[in-house]
Amino acid sequence: MADWIFDGITKIIKEPNVGSGNLTWDLERDIYSAWKRWLKNNSQFVAAFSVEGGTPIGATGIFTGKTVILINGWKLMAGDWNHLSFVTGNLFSDDGIDTVPNPNFSASLKTFGSVNAQGITTNNGGGDCTDSVWSEEEKNKIIKDVELSRDQSIISAMNTQKIDNI
Protein backbone atom coordinates (compact mmCIF):
# COMPACT_ATOMS: atom_id res chain seq x y z
CA MET A 1 0.00 0.00 0.00
CA ALA A 2 1.04 3.59 -0.53
CA ASP A 3 2.69 5.58 2.25
CA TRP A 4 0.82 8.17 4.26
CA ILE A 5 1.51 11.75 3.14
CA PHE A 6 3.36 14.07 5.53
CA ASP A 7 3.17 17.87 5.27
CA GLY A 8 5.75 19.38 7.59
CA ILE A 9 4.36 22.89 7.19
CA THR A 10 0.71 22.18 8.04
CA LYS A 11 1.63 19.23 10.32
CA ILE A 12 -0.96 17.03 8.63
CA ILE A 13 -0.41 13.30 8.14
CA LYS A 14 -2.84 12.36 5.40
CA GLU A 15 -4.16 8.95 4.48
CA PRO A 16 -3.01 7.97 0.98
CA ASN A 17 -5.66 7.85 -1.74
CA VAL A 18 -5.74 4.14 -2.44
CA GLY A 19 -9.16 3.76 -3.96
CA SER A 20 -12.58 3.52 -2.44
CA GLY A 21 -14.20 1.91 0.54
CA ASN A 22 -13.29 1.70 4.18
CA LEU A 23 -9.78 0.69 5.25
CA THR A 24 -7.98 -0.46 8.37
CA TRP A 25 -4.45 0.77 9.02
CA ASP A 26 -1.88 -0.49 11.52
CA LEU A 27 -0.41 2.47 13.41
CA GLU A 28 3.15 1.16 13.75
CA ARG A 29 3.48 -0.59 10.40
CA ASP A 30 1.60 1.82 8.13
CA ILE A 31 1.91 5.28 9.69
CA TYR A 32 4.81 5.46 12.17
CA SER A 33 7.16 3.50 9.87
CA ALA A 34 6.20 5.74 6.92
CA TRP A 35 7.02 8.79 9.05
CA LYS A 36 10.47 7.38 9.88
CA ARG A 37 11.14 6.92 6.13
CA TRP A 38 9.84 10.44 5.37
CA LEU A 39 11.94 11.96 8.17
CA LYS A 40 15.21 10.80 6.55
CA ASN A 41 14.81 13.51 3.87
CA ASN A 42 12.77 15.98 5.94
CA SER A 43 14.64 16.40 9.21
CA GLN A 44 14.13 20.18 9.13
CA PHE A 45 10.56 19.68 10.41
CA VAL A 46 9.59 19.13 14.04
CA ALA A 47 8.98 15.54 15.11
CA ALA A 48 5.49 14.14 14.58
CA PHE A 49 5.72 11.22 17.01
CA SER A 50 7.27 10.02 20.19
CA VAL A 51 7.10 6.41 21.30
CA GLU A 52 6.82 5.12 24.83
CA GLY A 53 7.34 1.50 25.81
CA GLY A 54 8.90 -1.38 23.97
CA THR A 55 11.27 -1.76 26.91
CA PRO A 56 12.64 -5.26 27.56
CA ILE A 57 11.69 -6.79 30.90
CA GLY A 58 14.94 -8.39 32.02
CA ALA A 59 16.20 -11.20 29.78
CA THR A 60 12.74 -12.73 29.47
CA GLY A 61 12.09 -11.77 25.84
CA ILE A 62 9.02 -9.86 27.04
CA PHE A 63 8.63 -6.18 26.23
CA THR A 64 6.31 -3.52 27.54
CA GLY A 65 3.62 -2.45 25.10
CA LYS A 66 4.33 0.49 22.78
CA THR A 67 2.34 3.70 22.73
CA VAL A 68 2.74 6.15 19.85
CA ILE A 69 2.06 9.79 20.68
CA LEU A 70 1.40 12.56 18.17
CA ILE A 71 3.40 15.60 19.28
CA ASN A 72 4.09 19.19 18.23
CA GLY A 73 0.62 19.77 16.77
CA TRP A 74 0.72 16.96 14.17
CA LYS A 75 -2.68 15.41 13.29
CA LEU A 76 -3.99 12.56 11.15
CA MET A 77 -6.44 13.28 8.32
CA ALA A 78 -8.54 10.90 6.23
CA GLY A 79 -7.85 10.65 2.50
CA ASP A 80 -9.71 12.34 -0.33
CA TRP A 81 -12.76 10.12 -0.84
CA ASN A 82 -16.01 9.55 1.09
CA HIS A 83 -15.25 6.76 3.55
CA LEU A 84 -14.52 5.70 7.13
CA SER A 85 -11.08 4.25 7.93
CA PHE A 86 -9.71 2.75 11.12
CA VAL A 87 -6.28 3.05 12.73
CA THR A 88 -5.39 0.24 15.11
CA GLY A 89 -2.67 0.61 17.73
CA ASN A 90 -1.98 2.65 20.83
CA LEU A 91 -2.28 6.22 19.53
CA PHE A 92 -2.54 9.29 21.70
CA SER A 93 -1.89 12.98 21.13
CA ASP A 94 -0.08 15.37 23.44
CA ASP A 95 -3.03 17.78 23.14
CA GLY A 96 -5.81 15.17 23.17
CA ILE A 97 -6.77 15.59 19.49
CA ASP A 98 -5.41 12.93 17.16
CA THR A 99 -7.41 13.55 13.97
CA VAL A 100 -8.75 16.52 12.02
CA PRO A 101 -11.61 16.43 9.50
CA ASN A 102 -10.97 16.42 5.78
CA PRO A 103 -12.67 19.67 4.69
CA ASN A 104 -13.48 18.45 1.17
CA PHE A 105 -14.95 14.98 1.73
CA SER A 106 -17.20 13.04 4.07
CA ALA A 107 -14.21 11.10 5.33
CA SER A 108 -13.29 10.05 8.85
CA LEU A 109 -10.57 8.22 10.73
CA LYS A 110 -11.38 6.30 13.91
CA THR A 111 -8.56 5.21 16.20
CA PHE A 112 -8.57 2.06 18.33
CA GLY A 113 -5.98 0.94 20.82
CA SER A 114 -5.25 -1.28 23.74
CA VAL A 115 -3.14 0.40 26.36
CA ASN A 116 -1.97 -2.79 28.07
CA ALA A 117 -0.36 -4.56 25.09
CA GLN A 118 2.77 -6.68 25.44
CA GLY A 119 5.35 -7.98 22.99
CA ILE A 120 7.12 -11.30 23.51
CA THR A 121 10.14 -12.73 21.71
CA THR A 122 11.70 -16.14 22.16
CA ASN A 123 15.16 -17.55 21.51
CA ASN A 124 14.08 -21.17 21.23
CA GLY A 125 15.17 -21.59 17.62
CA GLY A 126 11.79 -20.78 16.12
CA GLY A 127 8.35 -22.09 16.71
CA ASP A 128 5.54 -20.63 18.68
CA CYS A 129 6.03 -20.20 22.44
CA THR A 130 2.29 -20.63 22.91
CA ASP A 131 2.64 -24.31 21.92
CA SER A 132 3.80 -25.14 25.42
CA VAL A 133 1.07 -23.06 27.07
CA TRP A 134 -2.15 -23.58 25.10
CA SER A 135 -3.58 -26.38 23.03
CA GLU A 136 -4.36 -25.69 19.36
CA GLU A 137 -8.05 -25.52 20.24
CA GLU A 138 -7.41 -22.94 23.00
CA LYS A 139 -5.24 -20.82 20.69
CA ASN A 140 -7.90 -20.86 17.97
CA LYS A 141 -10.58 -19.81 20.47
CA ILE A 142 -8.43 -16.92 21.71
CA ILE A 143 -7.79 -15.77 18.14
CA LYS A 144 -11.51 -15.93 17.30
CA ASP A 145 -12.40 -14.02 20.49
CA VAL A 146 -9.87 -11.27 19.69
CA GLU A 147 -11.08 -11.02 16.08
CA LEU A 148 -14.72 -10.89 17.21
CA SER A 149 -13.93 -8.16 19.74
CA ARG A 150 -12.09 -6.14 17.06
CA ASP A 151 -14.94 -6.60 14.57
CA GLN A 152 -17.52 -5.53 17.17
CA SER A 153 -15.49 -2.39 17.92
CA ILE A 154 -15.32 -1.52 14.23
CA ILE A 155 -19.07 -2.09 13.73
CA SER A 156 -19.83 0.03 16.78
CA ALA A 157 -17.64 2.84 15.44
CA MET A 158 -19.30 2.62 12.03
CA ASN A 159 -22.75 2.84 13.65
CA THR A 160 -21.59 5.84 15.70
CA GLN A 161 -20.30 7.46 12.51
CA LYS A 162 -23.67 6.90 10.79
CA ILE A 163 -25.47 8.49 13.74
CA ASP A 164 -23.02 11.43 13.75
CA ASN A 165 -23.74 12.06 10.05
CA ILE A 166 -27.55 12.13 10.46
pLDDT digits (tens, 9 = 90+) for 49-102: 999 988 888 888 888 888 999 999 999 999 888 888 899 988 989 998 888 888
- Shared-domain flag, residues 116 and 130: no
pLDDT digits (tens, 9 = 90+) for 107-122: 888 886 655 545 555 5
- Alpha helices (H) along 6-135: 33-39
Q: Which segment of 2-6, 85-89, 132-136 scores lowest on mean pLDDT?
A: 132-136
- Shared-domain flag, residues 20 and 59: yes
Per DSSP, the chain holds a count of helices (H) and strands (E) of 2, 12
- Shared-domain flag, residues 104 and 152: no
Q: Which DSSP state fits 29?
A: I
- Shared-domain flag, residues 25 and 52: yes
Residues spanned by the domain of 95: 5-121
- Shared-domain flag, residues 109 and 134: no
Q: What is the pLDDT of residue 165?
A: 45
- Shared-domain flag, residues 101 and 149: no
- 1 class by beta-carbon count within 10 Å (0-12 exposed, 13-18 middle, 19+ buried): exposed
Q: What is the pLDDT of residue 46?
A: 97
Q: State how beta strands 107-112 and 83-88 pair.
A: parallel
Q: What is the pLDDT of residue 27?
A: 92
* Cα–chain center distance at 142: 21
- Shared-domain flag, residues 106 and 150: no
- Shared-domain flag, residues 130 and 64: no
- pTM (2 decimals)? 0.66
Question: How far is 11 from 49, CA to CA, in rounded Å?
Answer: 11
- Shared-domain flag, residues 152 and 75: no
- Shared-domain flag, residues 16 and 49: yes
Question: How far is 37 from 3, CA to CA, in rounded Å?
Answer: 9
Contact 95, 33 (CB under 8 A): no
- Shared-domain flag, residues 43 and 82: yes
Domain tally, the chain? 2
Question: How far is 64 from 47, CA to CA, in rounded Å?
Answer: 23
Residue in 24, 114, 7 with CA at minimum distance from that of residue 68 = 114
- Shared-domain flag, residues 56 and 135: no
Above 90 in pLDDT, residue 33?
yes
